[in-house]
Amino acid sequence: MIVRSFYTRWLCTAVLALVLAMSYGIPVCAETGTTYKSLKLFVEVLEELEKNYVDEVDADTLIHNAIKGMVENLDPHSSFMPPEAFDDLQDETKGEFSGLGIVITMKDGILTVVSPIEGTPAYKAGIFAGDIIVKIDDESTKGMALWEAVSKMRGPRHEEVVITIIREDEPAPLVFSLNRDLIPMTSVRSAMLKPGYGYLRVTNFRMNTHEEIAAHLEKLQSAETPLNGLVIDLRDNPGGLLDQAIKVSDFFLDEGVIVSIKGREETNTQEYKARPGKEEQKYPIVVLINGGSASASEIVAGALQDHSRALILGTPSFGKGSVQTVRPLKDGYGLKYTIARYYTPSGRSIQAKGIQPDIAVPHAILEKETKKPSAFDRMLKEKDLQNSLRPEETDDSLRDAVSPEPSSKSRQLQETEQLHQDAQVRRALDILISYGVFNKVNGN
């Protein structure tokens, strides 16, 4: 058989290489001998299946499945990718693509949502971090490779994809019919919560995220009222490019380590530091995180937390503390595998632990205050007394510090009002305002 003879020749070549190595005095360790025995076993099984399996088998398919199993059994983030999956991976950080907007991972062999991408069909439909995807278009995800699941959820725009999920505390599976749409490439938006207090939302870390942030920061910092505090929202941010996380952290740090990466090989061990000489930003920062904040967003949160540059508020993050590299292979195949773990400036590994918030605040949407005033609220006040002195005219800037700005027909102000109903954003704003008040009390 041609295929069989090919693998026999291949095995002989491997044996010859070992013999030559020993002939030239090159040390051949016990592990090499063990590897050779395992390869011999692999070829023996392959030949046996080709010869005697009930149906005819394709050798290439068997070998690719073997490589797939070898790589994917290492960890949830390593994978062997066929050409179409390798092309899709490039789209995630570069071009525009159409899909549902779900970032997924394999957790104990189960297809799990890391987070939905804001503004996408999945986000609008109410897919949550931690949801388990059990079916895609009536096909079970059991045994499905990560790239296969991604491939099934991507495709022509506006076509329907039905996914079935299991969610904690839900008695029955939930079925979502979603239409694919273009996944937004912009990853940053901003708003002014109130004069002097900015809001910066980062949904993921793509190739130009640091440039987007620089533009939004310039806009916030050049507002009529000087910036007295900033809320950075990293909730449901699944991460992205390592270099972008480093550059974003560098915006807010003037010195010290941002993140260190430690791998088995010295070439995969590196320490990244903040660059001095930038314009100092003295305003306080509150960073929002949750269970959907992963990877690059955890690097930013960990760096700002360890350097006491920001207060971290919300719920514990996802806990992805590993670094992957992508190696192109011949014929368009690709290999994505883990090369290192990363550590925060203080030396913490957050792998499977996550960033712990300084102040734990669960997510909630606040209801607008429509309740009737209590008896105490209805008590007489100075202004109700007969012949009381009329109040002097005061500057608008002396209004109640926590009152939202007057409503406007502009969409941006409408979004700002919605942010004020977000319990975590509101708590972050209250903290920043309190910080400013105490600074004034202490004469700073």
pLDDT in tens, 275-334: 987 777 889 999 999 999 999 999 999 999 999 999 999 999 999 999 898 899 999 999
Active site residue 384: no
pLDDT: is 334 or 85 the higher one? 334
Quick one: average pLDDT of 174-202? 93
Residue entry with tokens 């290999």: 335
Quick one: average pLDDT of 364-384? 64
Q: What confidence score (pLDDT) does residue 393 get?
A: 58
> Is the per-residue pLDDT at 186 higher than 90?
no
Percent of the chain with pLDDT over 70: 81
| Count of domains observed in the chain | 3
In a domain, 28, yes or no: yes
Written as six digits, the tokens of 134 are: 């059990």
Active-site hit among 320, 322, 336, 422? 320
95-99, 212-216, 227-231: range with lowest mean pLDDT? 95-99
Q: What domain range includes position 124?
A: 79-182
**Last residue of a domain, which of 147, 182, 217?**
182
Q: What confidence score (pLDDT) does residue 436 get?
A: 83
Q: What confidence score (pLDDT) does residue 387 get?
A: 66
Same domain assignment for residues 44 and 112: no
Q: Using H for helix, E for strand and C for coil, what is the string for the chain?
A: CHHHHHHHHHHHHHHHHHHHHHHCCCCCCHHHHHHHHHHHHHHHHHHHHHHHCCCCCCHHHHHHHHHHHHHHCCCCCCEEECHHHHHHHHHHHCCCCEECCEEEEEECCEEEEEEECCCCHHHHHCCCCCCEEEEECCEECCCCCHHHHHHHHCCCCCCEEEEEEECCCCCCCEEEEEECEECCCCCEEEEEEECCEEEEEECCECCCHHHHHHHHHHHHHCCCCCCCEEEEECCCCCCECHHHHHHHHHHHCCCCEEEEEEECCHHHCEEEECCCCCCCCCCCEEEEECCCCCCHHHHHHHHHHHCCCCEEEECCCCCCCEEEEEEECHHHCEEEEEEEEEECCCCCECCCCCCCCCEECCCCECCCCCCCCCCCCCCCCHHHCCCCCCCCCCCHHHCCCCCCCCCCCCHHHHHHHHHHCEHHHHHHHHHHHHHHHHHHHCCC
Q: What confidence score (pLDDT) does residue 255 get?
A: 94
Instruction: Taking the CA atoms of 422, 423, 428 and 433 in sequence, report the sign of the dihedral they define.
Output: positive
In a domain, 49, yes or no: yes
In a domain, 178, yes or no: yes
Same domain assignment for residues 209 and 293: yes
> Could you tell me the pLDDT band of residue 166, with boundaries at 50, 70 and 90?
very high
In a domain, 156, yes or no: yes
Same domain assignment for residues 241 and 355: yes
Quick one: average pLDDT of 381-391? 67
Q: What confidence score (pLDDT) does residue 424 get?
A: 97
In a domain, 171, yes or no: yes
> Could you tell me the pLDDT band of residue 29, with boundaries at 50, 70 and 90?
low
177: left (phi over 0), alpha (psi -120 to 50) or beta: beta
Neighbours of 171 (CB within 10 A): 5
Q: What confidence score (pLDDT) does residue 183 get?
A: 85
Quick one: average pLDDT of 172-198? 93
Give the separation between CA 66 and CA 55, rounded to whole angstroms: 18
Q: What confidence score (pLDDT) does residue 372 get?
A: 54
Q: What confidence score (pLDDT) does residue 322 get?
A: 93
Q: What confidence score (pLDDT) does residue 193 get?
A: 96
**For 219-275, what is each residue's pLDDT tens digit?**
999 999 999 999 999 999 999 899 999 999 999 999 999 999 999 988 889 999 999
Average pLDDT of the chain is: 84
For the entire predicted model, the pTM comes to 0.79
Same domain assignment for residues 172 and 197: no
Same domain assignment for residues 166 and 236: no
Same domain assignment for residues 15 and 146: no
Q: What confidence score (pLDDT) does residue 48 get?
A: 95
pLDDT: is 374 or 439 the higher one? 439
Quick one: average pLDDT of 430-444? 82
| CATH number of the CATH domain containing 104 | 2.30.42.10
Same domain assignment for residues 212 and 354: yes
> Could you tell me the pLDDT band of residue 30, with boundaries at 50, 70 and 90?
low
Give the separation between CA 42 and CA 318, rounded to whole angstroms: 37
CA-closest candidate to residue 7, choices 56, 51, 64, 47: 47
Active site residue 320: yes
Residue entry with tokens 């909630």: 364
Q: What confidence score (pLDDT) does residue 24 get?
A: 40
Same domain assignment for residues 40 and 83: no
Q: What confidence score (pLDDT) does residue 408 get?
A: 41
Active-site hit among 115, 293, 295, 322? 295
pLDDT: is 379 or 35 the higher one? 35
> Could you tell me the pLDDT band of residue 406, with boundaries at 50, 70 and 90?
very low
pLDDT: is 79 or 368 the higher one? 79
> Is the per-residue pLDDT at 410 higher than 70?
no
Same domain assignment for residues 159 and 104: yes
Same domain assignment for residues 239 and 176: no
Active site residue 306: yes
Backbone angles phi, psi at 205, to 5 degrees: -115, 100
